[in-house]
Amino acid sequence: MNTIYTCILVGLVCGIISAFGIGGGSLLMIWLTAILSMEQRTAQGINLLYFLPTAVAALLVHNKNHMVKWKVALPAIACGCITAALFSWVGNHLELNLLRKLFGGFLVVVGFCEIRKKPKKQSDSSPSMER
């Protein structure tokens, strides 16, 4: 279950789903923790690294299409960097089992919201790239 090919395949599937904008990052985390039973912290480290190349590629495309609202992004980044540093430190010092349970609780809430989400109109609401 944990050969290089399986890893690449799982990465591929999560990458496709992420590109649809429906949280592929959490899928990889579930694979690593709930299915492979990997240590929670290591899985988190892998997931953070996993996000980087995909995000850079996506951002280059979105920015070129003027799809990034920098007026919103910049203040969010400024504050977010502080809490990210703080809570990453916390995440690295929490007891592993507690961290795992907290994440499990978070997933239950997120999963529940995802199921309850109202369906959107489809047809012509596909993202138009023309400007």
Partner 1 sequence: MNTKKSRPMVAGALAGAVNGLFGAGGGMVLVPLLISYVGLEDKLAFSTAISIILPLSIVSIVVYWLNGTFPLSQAWPYLIGGLAGGLLGGICFRKVSANFLHKALGLFILWGGIKLLI
Q: Does 96 bind partner 1 (CB under 8 A)?
A: no
At which residue do the structure tokens 């996506």 appear? 58
Q: Does 108 bind partner 1 (CB under 8 A)?
A: yes
Q: Which residues contact 15 (CB under 8 A, 6 or more apart)?
A: 24, 54
- In the structure encoding, which two tokens stand for residue 115, read together? 């199921």
1, 55, 95, 130: residue in contact with partner 1 (rule CB under 8 A) = 55
CB of 123 to partner 1, least distance (A): 11
1, 95, 96, 117: residue in contact with partner 1 (rule CB under 8 A) = 117
- In the structure encoding, which two tokens stand for residue 117, read together? 């989400």
CB of 1 to partner 1, least distance (A): 13
Which residue, 95 or 126, is less far from partner 1 as judged by CB?
126
Q: Rule CB under 8 A: which of 65-94 touch partner 1?
A: 65, 67-70, 72-73, 75-93
At which residue do the structure tokens 């309850």 appear? 116
Q: How far apart are CA 66 and CA 45, in angstroms?
A: 31
- What are the angstrom distances between the C-alpha of 73 and each of 76, 77, 96? 5, 6, 32
Could you give the dihedral angle defined by the CA atoms of residues 53, 54, 55 and 60, in that order, rounded to the nearest 10 degrees?
90
**Residue 5-24 contact track with partner 1, rule CB under 8 A, x = bound:** --xxxxxxxxxxxxxxxxxx
Q: Count interface residues toward partner 1 (CB under 8 A).
A: 99
Q: Does 98 bind partner 1 (CB under 8 A)?
A: no
Q: Does 63 bind partner 1 (CB under 8 A)?
A: yes
